[in-house]
Amino acid sequence: MYLVKTKSKIILALLLTFMITFLFISIFQITSLTSETKMIQNYENKLQAVNQENENLTIYLAGMNSLSNIQELTEVFGFERIGNVHHIKLSGDIVVIR
């Protein structure tokens, strides 16, 4: 009878030890999972910011390419930059020939 009580106490102690060990392991895993989830959220926020910056730079680059194309076209067509524009106001049906 004494041997049976001793075995049951040993089994109960081992069972209790395993339960406490598994409890600590599960707490560690939950903590680890929570921190990794937070890290993933931070990376997603950084990725979203980088994507927005990339989109802004793409728009800026498209504008720069457009402006350089306009400048090249003005040189091809021989346009020149003008300084002052003077307007002549004519009255009636007057035609001016130069």
* The pLDDT value given to residue 89: 67
9-22 pLDDT tens trace: 899 999 999 999 99
Task: Indicate whether 7 pLDDT > 70.
Answer: yes
C-beta separation of 75 from 68 below 8 A: no
CA distance 64 to 57: 10
69-94 pLDDT tens trace: 777 767 777 777 777 766 666 666 66
Q: What is the Cβ-side half-sphere exposure of residue 53, based on CA atoms within 13 angstroms?
A: 6
Tell me the three state secondary structure of residue 82. Answer: coil
Global model pTM greater than 0.75: no
41-66 pLDDT tens trace: 999 999 999 999 989 888 887 777 77
